[in-house]
Amino acid sequence: MDPRSSRALRCCPCGRRLGLLGTRGAALLRVRPSKASGAGPSDPEAIVERFHPRRPDWYEELYAKVLKKCTRSYEAQVAAYKEKLFSQLTADSKKILELGIGTGPNFKYYASAVDINVTGVDPNKKMEKYAQAAAVAAGLPLTNFSFMRGVVEALPVGDDTMDAVIGTLVLCSVKDIDMALREIKRVLKPGGLFLFIEHVAAPDGSLLRCMQSILDPLQRFVADGCHLTRETGNLISETGFSSVDLNMTVLSSLSHVGPHVYGIARK
């Protein structure tokens, strides 16, 4: 294996996660989440806390910095797939919701379009400044970008309001993927597009699938809930979208998270 690829494996490529198996010190960075501040069930913050309890500020800031640094190698490997995927956004895609926006690595593929408005959702508030910087670098005015703390299982936007929803390496780690997919479908306008790239389970019966099954419990522990054996492509196809264009690829340098699906689902 190329030594640069080996170094990349020390950081989880998942856009929302820190530390793959083999990440030295990942367990040391795990901290007990802070308790919710007594908010009632109708409070949006209480909903977020239910699925992704807030971490201390120092942890969330460190997480954002590490994420920005550690995903560079992965982003280089998926660049061609992202270019192909985001080229399918049409002139009608004016209102865009990006899930788990993190430090904004996807902006460079679509944010230069004229007259778009992007809402970025992420449970880590410390991602906001990094996402803003990436938006500006890609040519998106900050007046056309808003950041909201939230989770995919309870998106903080109304029904039938988005022309496109973007999710890259997010669904591997949501707590309730069925709920998350229903939320994505709910917020899309009729005919709206869901663009996705996710690492997934290897084919049944393969040696890699066997390895993923063995490693999955430890992966979820050290990588903040990231699943190795989630069949995300099948779940997207079963959600009730009017059409799903699903493609499979394997990024060989990524070992047990190499199998990926990418494509577009239309409401």
Q: 31: burial class by Cβ within 10 Å (0-12, 13-18, 19+)? A: exposed
The pLDDT value given to residue 44 = 65
Taking the CA atoms of residue 124, residue 130, residue 135 and residue 139 in that order, the dihedral angle to the nearest 10 degrees is 180
* 56, HSE (Cβ side, Cα atoms, 13 Å): 7
Count other Cβ atoms within 10 Å, centred on residue 233.
22
3-state class of 157 per DSSP?
A: coil
Contact 74, 8 (CB under 8 A): yes
Evaluated on CA atoms 127, 128, 134, 138, the torsion sign reads: positive
3-state class of 190 per DSSP?
A: strand
Contact 241, 266 (CB under 8 A): yes
3-state class of 67 per DSSP?
A: helix
DSSP H stretches of helix in 32-188: 44-51, 57-70, 72-86, 107-110, 128-137, 177-187
Averaged pLDDT, groups of 10, the chain, 267 residues long: 35 48 35 38 70 79 80 90 94 95 95 90 93 96 95 94 97 93 98 97 92 88 82 96 96 86 97
Residues 6+ apart with CB under 8 A from 8: 70, 73, 74, 253, 254
Taking the CA atoms of residue 155, residue 156, residue 161 and residue 165 in that order, the dihedral angle to the nearest 10 degrees is -40
Length of the chain equals: 267
* 133, HSE (Cβ side, Cα atoms, 13 Å): 8
The pLDDT value given to residue 50 = 80
The pLDDT value given to residue 197 = 97
The pLDDT value given to residue 12 = 55
Count other Cβ atoms within 10 Å, centred on residue 121.
25
Could you identify the residue written with the tokens 């229903």? Answer: 182
The pLDDT value given to residue 42 = 55
In order of their start, the domains of the chain are 3-266 (3.40.50.150)
CA–CA–CA angle 53, 54, 60 (5° rounding): 135
In degrees and rounded to multiples of 5, residue 104 shows phi and psi of: 80, 35
In degrees and rounded to multiples of 5, residue 262 shows phi and psi of: -150, 155
The pLDDT value given to residue 192 = 97
The pLDDT value given to residue 34 = 38
